[in-house]
Structure 1
């Protein structure tokens, strides 16, 4: 795959997302370009969330590497960073000049609400895809749902730090799946 294609796809993704690129990444990489399946996207996303750095940049590195090696990973990362860098600089200048204007502040709040809705819609799409393929008779499926619910309670309702929730649930999940022993 040409490096220019990888760079342009990730540049477009980066410039489409204000406050969150992941919904656009899912749509572009899974639904439109079909570079990844829904399961692969979920695996890349899960791995990226455990690595240091911005999650979408980690996903971009993995996808770029998959299709064009190290140069593809660097092209994808450059695409994710170049455009937003320029936008942030421009927004900083605009905020410095117009930040006291009430309409400007309301516009920023409105964009944040839209970003939250897009992230929720992407989560629902991913969940539907994964749950549709779940083997509900497998012993580990209910355990996965329980861990998912605990993570939601810890992060979403109790607003604990991600590191704390991960530190508690990762060993619990690994140990439980070791004890349950998936039978295939």
Structure 2
């Protein structure tokens, strides 16, 4: 299968200076992301480092979500590859996984000792509320990019509500919603762009 190589990054825009910069940046990013990483990834890559525009981030995040594996690891691979090819993809992925893996293993050992403690259960419930807030916050911040979407804000809102309804209310498996609502969105966008 032949695919077009990614377009080269704009040299006028900030970009990672080296593989080490990529590794360290994604390590620091991974260490900030507890549960809901979308808000943190968007803030770091779009607003702080400016390696991506908001529109590029949304497109990359959409692709990362439909690929197998953790979204944030997928996006690290795509960004690393964009700037440094395969070595960049591997450096970004290593940054996302190396230090967090050690921390998770240590936390798993601690959790095994204190899992039955009521304070631990309460803390985990509290963290789930924070995670939901982070995801909603990132979604609201990124919604401004819908102005440039070929489907328009109204159609995007209808598709978002339909997606939420199918997953949260109807409890349909994600793959059906992706194929159904996502496929419909792709067809609508293709037709709109064709005009």
1:99-118 to 2 correspondences below 5 Å: 99-118=115-134
1:144 aligned partner: 156
Aligned equivalents of 2:183, 2:139: Cα separation in 1? 24
Question: Among 88, 97, 109, which residue is 1:81 paired with?
Answer: 97
Q: Distance in 1 between matches of 2:192 and 2:39?
A: 34
Q: d(CA) in 1 for partners of 2:67 and 2:190?
A: 23
Contact 1:3–1:72 (8 Å) recurs in 2? yes
**1:1-184 alignment runs, 5 A limit:** 1-127=17-143, 129-131=144-146, 133-134=147-148, 140-141=151-152, 142-177=154-189, 183=195
What's the offset of the Cα at 1:177? 4.4
Q: Structure 1 unaligned runs (5+)?
A: none
Deviation of 1:74 (Å): 0.5
* Offset from partner CA, 1:32-68 (integer Å, 9 cap, x none): 0000011000000011111111111110001111122
Query: Could you list the per-position Cα deviations for residues 119-156 of structure 1 after superposition, in whole angstroms to 9, with x for gaps in the alignment?
Result: 110011001x213x347xx7x32433322221121123
1:63 and 1:157 map into 2 onto residues whose CA distance is: 35
So what's the TM-score if we normalise by structure 2? 0.83
Distance 2:157 2:115 in 1: 44
The whole-number CA distance in structure 1 between the counterparts of 2:85 and 2:190 is 34
- Which segments of structure 1 move beyond 6 Å, counting only runs of 4 or more? none
CA contact (8 A) 1:154 1:165 kept: yes
RMSD of aligned Cα (Å): 1.9
Contact kept, 8 Å, 1:155 with 1:161, in 2: the verdict is: yes
Bigger helix share: 1
CA gap of 1:126–1:96, structure 2 versus 1, over 3 A, is same
Would you say how many aligned residue pairs link Structure 1 and Structure 2?
178
Quick one: structure 1 residues 144 and 67, their matched pair in 2 at CA, closer, same or farther if it must change by over 3 Å? same
